[in-house]
A and B are shown apart, each in its own frame.
Chain A
């Protein structure tokens, strides 16, 4: 990497402009949905970017008003279902990735290839058979009815990301522990788990994003507020009255579900990037 102090001013300015363009590109639609969420219903049609006056009306509507039940139950469903799916897949993936990174056994490649195949699986192809099956066995419109298919989204990426992380752990420490008399299991628990925790944590965040983002399962396998997650619920929003444009309420709900994600990204940006890329590109 060349030293940037040597750059001529003109080039420096160009890089600054390029950087600012990238930031505007990344944030523009987000700022727009925030602006939209603060508009009054009559202001929605103003065809302007910013609200003429900033009001909390839309937030009132979804947190305390008519849309409250719809939104808050969806929020509860989304958080609960995504957390449980993330937890299950991270636990399963941690064991699998440890075995893949550390142990010599036939079938390693099969497991990684399966993870890859599952990751590229068209989600809607799973929905069709599950829709019928879930109705028959009573899992339709329930939390487990979403948690189980969510594993098809979260488990493969967890296995990949974690395998990549685990390959970088200094395993000599584990051997040292084993020489000192620890069993494989003890070495795993006492030495490797603390070293692996950051990778596991990052994997959990990425996995949570993916579950949180799901729409296909959410819209297809639920029918009421019992299990419907936020992305699917957004499609069912109505305005304060039946004839009112729900844009403001949807925007407000969108902002609320986006905030935690953006905060996570801000806090763990470096780790998420390395987790995302290590899984796919040789690190």
Chain B
């Protein structure tokens, strides 16, 4: 420490104050020395690229024809926003996000309840099992679901051929509705554990005596759920929903593996990938990337303003 000055007499108030502010300044400096590198790296790997993306998006620029690079203001945005391909991708992304998050909220809550209330012998097994989908590579999960439903390798058709609409020749990846169903199912399987673990942590914070009091007062299970449990874990629910919404909105892996965007299943992330990497349209791809970024910002703001998600308290930071 740099504070070597120790007040020799209590009367020297000024010296004390100086020493304290010296100490505070040293602490402040140490704080930035320790946290600064992480902070700078975070900015370098995200803020810089998005600024670069915005800059690139103002040019008409295709890598295969670099000499024709030309500044065209917001022309790329105009091209993207007036193209039905973009709106189709947004529509599919919103559809997938809405369904997965809604189903996961309910399913994740049910899983959390089972883990919370499960018999003691079963609880550690459950917690381990539930981590498996979370820990598995998304691409692996996508392949598992793809091959399960695929017309030539899958077992789903022969297992469920007694259901109306499913037969030995049902081609799940042949049309939009069925492709999206499988994509959503795989996404839900993979990410519900995350939501359920967050909700489980929230459940553990609901005061047990409140539950008991409600029970003594004759509240039914549903009443206790709606009046005691859910209001008391609102912060955890909201944080879980926000994270999952943003995560679902960037869906890429499942679509890439299962359909490559065929049958109109292209999502926004995949559109950006296709423009940039496959078509080498840096300008257009950057415009899509910036728009996707703006969507994510918009969703976050909506959650924070509309649902009053308190991320600071959720992080344990006041």
Contacts and interface: CB of A to CB of B under 8 A. Distances in A.
Given A258-B137, A283-B316, A124 B252 contact: yes
A125 B246 contact: no
B135 A16 contact: no
A95 B118 CA distance: 39
Contacts of A258: 136-137, 140
Contact of A30 (B1, B132, B249, B314): B132
Interface stretch (A17-25, A56-64, A169-177, A196-204): A17-25
B166 interface: no
A155 B41 contact: yes
A42 B76 CA distance: 49
A27 to B, nearest CB: 6
Contact of B143 (A245, A251, A272, A279): A251
Given A250-B143, A281-B236, A281-B239, A272 B56 contact: no
B140 A234 contact: yes
Given A114-B39, A114-B43, A123 B250 contact: yes
B46 A265 contact: no
Q: Which 4 A-B pairs have the closest CB atoms?
A: A105-B31, A277-B201, A96-B38, A129-B52
Interface of B: 1, 24, 27-28, 30-32, 34-35, 37-39, 41-43, 45-46, 49-50, 52-53, 56, 63, 111, 114-115, 117-120, 122, 124-141, 143-145, 147-148, 150, 152-155, 157-159, 168, 186, 189, 193-194, 197-198, 200-202, 205, 208, 235-236, 239-240, 243, 246, 249-250, 252-253, 256-257, 269, 272-273, 276-277, 282, 285-286, 288-290, 292-293, 295-296, 300, 311-317
28 contacts: A1-B208, A4-B119, A18-B118, A19-B119, A22-B115, A47-B155, A93-B38, A95-B38, A104-B24, A108-B317, A114-B39, A114-B42, A123-B250, A126-B45, A127-B276, A128-B289, A129-B52, A130-B49, A184-B1, A184-B30, A215-B252, A220-B276, A231-B138, A235-B256, A261-B135, A265-B135, A280-B315, A281-B235
